[in-house]
């Protein structure tokens, strides 16, 4: 088994694995430029709700690596640039607002850069700890060895630590509670076939990649025991936004009587909203649908609807795994 680090602060710079190059090339980017970090979030070089939050926190801190004449005005500029990179994953806002609160208390300190870096490191370490606890709580859903289906990517490539849903699967496999994993390819950006497959391979877990539309066939044949996915935003009532295609799986699980679980840190829970109807869903550029590796696969003038996420209603979710507990319905996170 080969391990890797998807993101780390090293020698005064943020070092992260460029996920757009995986799995064919492992390319690391080193930067101390907050604008480059913002671009990395937008380009999906870094992705996954918890990891976006961690990386954005480092972006805030690194922006203050040099002496700034008007720190409050500059902070506002950096904060606004980073907070507008992506609209759906709540961890981005959670991390940036934590950095904002910390900055406002320490803006006049001479050692501001090191103070901000330590706060970003604290956010990163907090996520590592949360991932460990999520995995431990996730083991409670396994009573016998199971075949698991998962969607999108929820491992080290999506978090600051070992992962959410993926880490549950990995820890369960190490305890002989996972027999096999089916990974949805996750169109249109193929996070499953590129990233989850990469992590499953690194972990030595037996798996097969399937197209998103193959899940129903496997379920009808009795080959799936449980489905676990991550989340980008969870509302007070348990409605959950996650990568497009997650809602499909929840509906299929409901029909085939297969338990459907969400795994995410509490920083993904947004108690400001009552239900999933209020979530702003990011729409992606149509090139992600009509092109593969930059090559057209259909006519360029065809119109496209490409939401990055969908919302799974709480009544389709068997349980939500956080670092605090394994939560069962009725969900009430207020």
CATH 3.40.50.10470 fits 136-327, yes or no: yes
Instruction: Tell whether the model's pLDDT for residue 209 goes beyond 60.
Output: yes
DSSP character for 30? Answer: E
Q: What is the DSSP string of 151-201?
A: -S--SGGGSSSS-SHHHHHHHHHHTT-EEEEEEE--TTTTHIIIIIHHHHH
Residues of the chain with CATH 3.40.50.10470: 136-327
| Residue 45 CA: distances (Å) to CA of 151, 179, 197, 278 | 19, 31, 17, 28
**Active-site residue (options: 126, 127, 225, 232):** 232
What average pLDDT score do residues 232-239 get?
Answer: 96
CATH domain 7-132 topology: 1.20.120
Residues of the chain with CATH 1.20.120.420: 7-132
Q: What is the DSSP string of 120-133?
A: HHHHHHHHHHHHHH
Report whether 153 contacts 232 (CB < 8 A): no
Helix, coil or strand: residue 60? helix
The whole-number pLDDT of residue 2 equals 58
Report whether 150 contacts 184 (CB < 8 A): yes
- For 257-305, how does the pLDDT look when each residue is reduced to its tens digit (9 = 90+)? 999 999 999 999 999 988 999 999 999 999 999 999 899 999 999 999 9
Active site residue 232: yes
Band (pLDDT 50/70/90 cuts) for residue 334 is: confident
> For residue 309, what are its two tokens?
């996420």
Instruction: Tell whether the model's pLDDT for residue 125 goes beyond 90.
Output: yes
pTM of the model: 0.93
The whole-number pLDDT of residue 4 equals 84
Instruction: Tell whether the model's pLDDT for residue 1 goes beyond 60.
Output: no
């Amino acid at each position: 088994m080969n391990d890797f680090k998807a993101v780390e602060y090293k020698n005064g710079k943020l070092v992260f694995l460029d996920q757009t190059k995986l799995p064919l090339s492992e390319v690391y980017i080193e930067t101390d430029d907050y604008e480059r970090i913002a671009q990395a979030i937008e380009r999906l070089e870094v992705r996954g709700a918890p990891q976006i939050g961690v990386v954005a926190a480092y972006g805030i801190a690194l922006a203050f690596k040099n002496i700034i004449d008007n720190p409050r005005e500059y902070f506002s500029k950096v904060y606004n640039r980073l907070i507008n990179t992506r609209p759906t994953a709540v961890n981005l806002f959670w991390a940036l607002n934590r950095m904002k609160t910390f900055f406002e208390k320490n803006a006049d300190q001479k050692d501001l850069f090191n103070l901000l870096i330590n706060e970003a490191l604290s956010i990163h370490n907090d996520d590592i700890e949360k991932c460990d606890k999520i995995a431990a709580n996730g083991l409670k859903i396994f009573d016998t060895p199971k075949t698991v289906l998962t969607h999108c990517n929820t491992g080290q490539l999506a978090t600051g630590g070992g992962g959410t849903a993926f880490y549950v699967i990995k820890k369960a496999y190490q305890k002989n509670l996972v027999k096999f994993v089916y990974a949805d390819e996750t169109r249109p950006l193929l996070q499953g076939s590129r990233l989850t497959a990469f992590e499953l391979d690194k972990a030595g877990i037996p798996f097969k990649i399937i197209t998103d539309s193959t899940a129903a066939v496997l379920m009808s044949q009795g080959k799936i025991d449980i489905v676990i996915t991550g989340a980008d935003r969870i509302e007070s009532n348990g409605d959950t936004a996650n990568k497009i295609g997650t809602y499909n799986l929840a509906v299929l699980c409901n029909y085939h009587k297969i338990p459907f679980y969400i795994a995410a840190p509490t920083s993904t829970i947004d108690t400001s909203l009552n239900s999933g109807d209020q979530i702003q869903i990011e729409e992606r550029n149509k090139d992600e649908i009509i092109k593969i590796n930059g090559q057209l696969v259909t006519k360029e003038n065809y119109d496209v609807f490409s939401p990055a996420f969908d919302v799974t209603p709480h009544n389709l979710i068997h349980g939500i795994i956080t670092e605090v507990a394994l939560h069962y319905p009725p969900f009430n996170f207020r």
